[in-house]
Amino acid sequence: MTEVRSGGAQGVPFDALIVGAGFSGLYQLLCLRDRLGLNVEILESASGVGGTWYWNRYPGARCDSESHAYCYSFSDALTQEWEWSERYPGQPEILRYLDHVAERFDLKRSIRFDTRVTGATYDEESRLWEVTTAGGERLSTRFLVAAVGCLSSANVPDIPGLASFAGRWYHTGEWPHGGVDFGGARVGLVGTGSTGIQAAPVIAETAAHLTVFQRTANYSVPARNAPLTQEFRRYAKEHAADIRRTMHTSYNAHPFLISDRRAVDTPQKEREAIYEAAWAKGGLQFRATFRDLLSDPAANETAATFIKNKIREIVKDPLTAEKLAAIDHPYAAKRPPIDTGYFETFNRDNVTLVDVRATPIERITPEGIRTRDAEYPLDIIVFATGFDAMTGAMLRMDIRGRDGLRLADAWAAGPRNYLGLQVAGFPNLFMVTGPGSPSVLCNMPVPIEQHVEWITAYIDHMRRNGLSSIETTEAAMDAWVAQVNEAAAATLLPQASHSWYLGANVPGKPRVFMPYAGGMPKYRRICADVAANGYEGFVLGA
């Protein structure tokens, strides 16, 4: 293992600082410290590693990528030694995995926990970033890697009266480590995205009453979670290379490919049978049943109708079923949830659905939530209201680049960038899975590994060539933003007008489709070509 020299403390600048110790930051640390031998540390606001899996401890939290794919693939030894217990492991198990990775690769000695980065300013003369933390530290570094997460900035809605609420309230993305006891409580759950859909069935098991406040009805397909058989575990280990190859070929970086069939060309009976089989199998494979689901509205309608009919079959009360099935956007145009007994939960006597699109929440009172036509007394409110996605964590740091340019100003009209990796005016600052990259449309460990390895290779290239700064250009950003828009326009994704992909869930946020929807394999090729062509679109400075 490479010996690291002390950085920062004696005024020696770090070669690199990484912000964030989730999947991205941990691997970035390993690459820069142990493969390149750089003097590097992670700054992490949490008290431990894990990122998403450190913060999201709400009841029912688990992944919707399958366990054998929701992990790193860079180390064959790691793949072979780690045993997943379930098809979709819960939060504690994923956190244990990331903790194991941090221990196994001796990463924790290079991480400063409980350290929130509050600012980063680029100094033109020294070509260094000066990073400030909430604790008052000032650290300088050549490279700054923001591994701050796409879904790490909790979005608590600004509902009047919240401060007056006499009960307890929680956001799922900042869940108390000791858990929350719902026993005998009247619980209000606001939000029916992937999180609310996971949390509702579990909360309903112990709450006296659960009221689900639904603004936008949502699709969901059963997860069919189950313990992994010995046979499957053996298969996943023996075929790790093949699985990796499939993930690298697949549009969404999952370990399965999207079918070649078109829904619109498939006879109805056969199509229904395919949907039935996918429903029975469960999981995000449902989205992969036909290749035209996300490009042809008529094809999408067939999947949407199938799921809406399932909702009506499952939910016994017809009025509740209609509210749940009144979905106003194409299937999978918002990130499609998978669930364990979500729709069935509304058959319980202790669960009520409130349609807050029809009767909006007016305010929170000391007693509970008041909508336009009723008051719901509550002891606990759970906000499953999502995140200021893709840009929130970046903008919560006060980042100032060349000539004092604030990132917040550079992104006033939306997060312009090149390849989701860099922004003009911010030399030597990299984002891992930033806006403009495929990231959130994928099984994320795959794009995370690709970004981290690309950034590592780039920094290595610079060092080998005696270069000290790298920065993208306005022209490269314009061209990339055009490609991102073009890729989105070829899909139905922008049609979910209230999705966080568009920033629509945060009041005042520019409405721009943020992820790159051209698919992970194409994106990987683009990045490889950029590197092969002498880092096209970047200006390298001595």
C-beta closer to ligand FAD: residue 89 or 414: 89
Q: How many CA atoms lie within 13 A of 526 on its CB side?
A: 21
Question: Is 384 among the residues that bind ligand NAP (CB under 6 A)?
Answer: yes
Shortest distance, position 358 Cβ to ligand FAD, whole Å: 28
- Express the helix, strand and coil content of the chain in percent, nearest 5 each: 35, 20, 45
The residues binding ligand FAD (CB under 6 A) are 19-25, 43-46, 51-52, 54, 56, 61, 63-65, 70, 116-117, 147-152, 195, 393, 396-397, 432-433, 443-444, 448
Range in contact with ligand NAP (rule: CB under 6 A) among 4-12, 151-159, 319-327, 511-519: 151-159
Alpha helices in 411-494 (DSSP H): 445-464, 474-489
148 binds, among ligand NAP, ligand FAD, none (CB under 5 to 8 A by kind): ligand FAD
By CB under 6 A, the residues from 27 to 86 that bind ligand NAP are 63-64
60 strand-pairing partners? none
Distance from C-alpha of 187 to C-alpha of 379, rounded to nearest angstrom: 6
Cβ-based neighbours of 44, under 8 Å, separated by 6 or more: 19, 20, 21, 25, 111, 112, 113, 114, 115
Question: Is 390 among the residues that bind ligand NAP (CB under 6 A)?
Answer: no
Structure tokens of 95? 């956190």
* Of the residues 361, 369, 390, 452, which one makes contact with ligand NAP according to CB under 6 A: 361
* Of the residues 90, 191, 201, 434, which one makes contact with ligand NAP according to CB under 6 A: 191
- Supply the angle between the helices 240-249 and 520-532 in degrees, to the nearest 10: 90
C-beta closer to ligand NAP: residue 55 or 143: 55
Length of the chain: 542
Task: Encode burial over 141-167: b for 16+ CB neighbours within 10 A, e otherwise.
Answer: bbbbbbbbbbbbbbbbbebeeeeebeb
**Alpha-carbon torsion 485, 488, 489, 490, what sign?**
positive
335 binds, among ligand FAD, ligand NAP, none (CB under 5 to 8 A by kind): ligand NAP
116 binds, among ligand FAD, ligand NAP, none (CB under 5 to 8 A by kind): ligand FAD
Site string for ligand NAP, 206-225 (x = CB under 6 A): -------x-xx---------
Shortest distance, position 57 Cβ to ligand FAD, whole Å: 10
Question: Is 335 among the residues that bind ligand NAP (CB under 6 A)?
Answer: yes
Cβ-based neighbours of 119, under 8 Å, separated by 6 or more: 131, 132, 397, 398, 399, 400
Alpha helices in 11-75 (DSSP H): 23-29, 52-55
212 binds, among ligand NAP, ligand FAD, none (CB under 5 to 8 A by kind): none
**Single-letter amino acid, residue 84:** W
500 binds, among ligand FAD, ligand NAP, none (CB under 5 to 8 A by kind): ligand NAP
Contact at 8 Å (CB) between 190 and 213?
Answer: yes
By CB under 6 A, the residues from 315 to 334 that bind ligand NAP are none
Q: What are the two backbone dihedrals, phi and then psi, of residue 332, each rounded to the nearest 5 degrees?
A: 75, 5
C-beta closer to ligand NAP: residue 24 or 216: 216
Question: Is 102 among the residues that bind ligand NAP (CB under 6 A)?
Answer: no
Question: Is 250 among the residues that bind ligand NAP (CB under 6 A)?
Answer: no
Shortest distance, position 407 Cβ to ligand NAP, whole Å: 23
Applying CB under 6 A, which residues contact ligand NAP?
63-64, 151, 157, 159, 190-196, 198, 213, 215-216, 335, 356, 361, 384-387, 440, 498, 500, 505
